[in-house]
Amino acid sequence: MPLQNRVKPDGEIVISPARGMLMGNRGGKLHDPETRTLVRTQSSRQWITCVLQFKSRQRQVMGTGYTELFFMDEVTALAAGHRPCFECRRKDALSFQAAWKASKALAVAPSAPDMDRALSVERRAKGGAKVTWTARSGSLPDGAMVRVDDNLLAVRERKFLPWTGSGYGAGVPLDLNLDVEVLTPPAIARILHAGYQPIWHPTAERAGNKS
């Protein structure tokens, strides 16, 4: 039976039978091991994304350790406010870190805790609600995620790609002057502008090629 461990772009953790491309966590255990149900939605401000397989490690999902979360792709994870893991995704994490440094013209690259502190403010309000912001759609980088009339849409090559739990729908041309509600935290949007290349679900390429 599917467990409540699939993360949507708005950060909500839902039940879904679809398999994600990436795993991750929110700093620890969010579930009751006996019932394998969620009792909280975060353990710390360290929200990361990981590969599905690493060094032949084996885990029981929602066992006695941290709560494994799953993401359709990295674009989804970034929108929810997760960053790459420095252990199993070190190359991606270093690229993310370098793009963060460049996006803010910092003299020194930020540490993982520095980035976690900044992202914790940008992804959730005190009451736990998702923090969003408004921008012109034409100003957003590829990989940003927005919500328009309750539809979740990813920006890719001047198109909006409708998000679903199992992939992207056919792209629609971007209205460059449309004010949209942006789900991707501002810091991560700047990182995407600075050149960080997220992992897209395979359906994104097909969806983007449809008119």
> What is the total count of domains within the chain?
2
In a domain, 93, yes or no: yes
The range of the structural domain enclosing residue 50 comes to 4-98
| Judgement on whether residues 34 and 72 belong to the same structural domain of the protein | yes
Structure confidence by residue, pLDDT tens digits, 107-149: 999 999 999 999 999 999 988 899 999 999 999 999 999 999 9
Q: What is the pTM of this model?
A: 0.94
In a domain, 103, yes or no: no
In a domain, 104, yes or no: no
In a domain, 191, yes or no: yes
- b/e burial code for range 2-15 (CB count within 10 A of at least 16 → b): ebbbbbbbbbebee
| Judgement on whether residues 64 and 136 belong to the same structural domain of the protein | no
Tokens (6 digits) for 170: 């056919």
Distances in Å between the Cα of 197 and the Cα atoms of 99, 152, 169 are: 10, 20, 21
Q: What is the 3-state secondary structure (H, E, C) of 174-201?
A: CCCCCEEEECCCHHHHHHHHCCCCCCCC
Q: What is the reported pLDDT for 63?
A: 86
- Please give the Cα distance from 49 to 43 (Å, whole number): 15
